[in-house]
A = this chain, B = another copy of it.
């Protein structure tokens, strides 16, 4: 498809933490951005367009990258909230997950993808015990997903992980797979050593839930005399990079390891609040020069797959944590939600809007009251923006969502029906 956007304002990444708006056109040819610039510089009549769209002064920007989630957990949304963490996990989440079929995971991932599209999310970084049906869902919908192994003592084996690595990487340009494991507290030493070996063999980064709660870190220290970061570093996990999800409770030495290894901390602010885990030290990550990305976490804990809420929280929680209203400004949060996430997920080919990059982009409606007046687009976006401002979401050159309609090869009502049938079956 060749698509021409005109009368647009295009959000350009000037350098890390700085953005500008450029008036003009953006052309998509196939799955890539073919041109960004002034209407006068190049003649649109030379191209046979499938679609020419008047952006009416609205803003084209890179899609958000949801850098940590468990998409299939949509079925547990609003099923077990307002409970203590251990009761939530052991009495509610685990017993229901044991009832899931591979087909269930496929449908539940499609529901999550629908929600990502409404929030302008164009790629997700997904950890789940059954990634294959999730990968099929992404490919069928035309959505981009990087998976990481959710290996632990109760699911997957090292040989299965190696097989998944080949299967999912080979499935499509839209899917990728990194090494990983669930967390130190669910994974025996033998498996962690195996992940390190697989990472070395495949030259893969390694990802895990890391230091989400104080009690997790304390228990790890008791077992190993090390924090989860120190332990995984000692096991030689990070020869090819990677990082941690959550990263709420970090020691000085943990910061040092992340900085020296060039690892990324993925922060999950809404989930960390709702499960009473804490507020991550995002300001310190930035001052130490450590990359930060943003994830929604899964819908069982958050419960919303919405990058607008997360961006606001990343900035606002840092301010209250540090007692300083000036720290982690809007531009930092926007950078994390776009280019920061892309870096974590190995998607630097769609981290910003530039000629030649993959066309993973969204169109933001500024003609709604929450985006007016136009004092500052980035601050409007991060502090008062909402999924209601997402006019269009394009992944890999294809429009998958536009004006509240979905183009993923199936009707949303069908997906809702399947999700409700799954929870209905489980209730019996």
A interface, CB within 8 angstroms of B: 74-79, 81-85, 88, 111-112, 114-115, 118, 270, 272-279, 299, 302-306, 309, 312, 315-317, 319-320, 322-327, 329-330, 367-370, 372-376, 379-380, 383-388, 412-413, 415-416, 419-420, 422-423
Contacts and interface: CB of A to CB of B under 8 A. Distances in A.
Given A77-B384, A272-B320, A274-B319, 4 more contacts: A82-B325, A276-B322, A373-B419, A374-B423
A210 to B, nearest CB: 19
Given A306-B386, A369-B111, A81 B423 contact: no
The 10 A-B residue pairs with the shortest CB-CB distance, nearest first, are A78-B379, A273-B316, A82-B329, A115-B369, A304-B384, A114-B369, A373-B419, A303-B383, A78-B376, A78-B375
Contacts of A111: 369, 372-373
Nearest to A332: B82
Nearest to A424: B373
A276 B369 contact: no
Contact of A423 (B312, B375, B383, B412): B375
A97 to B, nearest CB: 15
Contacts of A112: 369
Given A320-B276, A373-B416, A387 B388 contact: yes
A420 B274 contact: no
Contact of A83 (B273, B304, B309, B326): B326
Given A306-B386, A370-B115, A375 B274 contact: no
A324 B274 CA distance: 9
A169 to B, nearest CB: 28
A325 B74 contact: no
Contact of A312 (B270, B277, B329, B374): B270
B77 A375 contact: yes
A76 B270 CA distance: 27
A229 to B, nearest CB: 22
Counting chain B CB atoms within 10 Å of each CB, the highest count among A88, A373, A376 belongs to: A373
Contacts of A412: 367, 369
Please give the count of copies of this chain that the complex contains.
Answer: 2
Contact of A420 (B115, B327, B370, B374): B374
Contacts of A114: 369
Counting chain B CB atoms within 10 Å of each CB, the highest count among A79, A304, A323, A423 belongs to: A304
A413 B367 contact: yes
A312 B369 CA distance: 21
Contacts of A303: 379-380, 383-384
Nearest to A79: B375
20 contacts: A78-B379, A82-B326, A82-B329, A88-B325, A272-B320, A278-B320, A302-B384, A304-B370, A304-B386, A309-B309, A369-B412, A372-B415, A372-B416, A372-B420, A373-B416, A373-B419, A373-B423, A386-B386, A386-B388, A387-B388
A272 B315 CA distance: 12
A407 to B, nearest CB: 14
B299 A75 contact: no
Contacts of A415: 369, 372
Contacts of A81: 329-330, 376, 379, 383
Counting chain B CB atoms within 10 Å of each CB, the highest count among A88, A330, A386, A387 belongs to: A386
Contacts of A275: 319, 325
Counting chain B CB atoms within 10 Å of each CB, the highest count among A306, A317, A323, A325 belongs to: A325
B84 A325 contact: yes
Contacts of A384: 77-78, 299, 302-306
A293 to B, nearest CB: 20
A380 B376 CA distance: 32
A74 B372 CA distance: 8
B316 A372 contact: no
Nearest to A323: B276
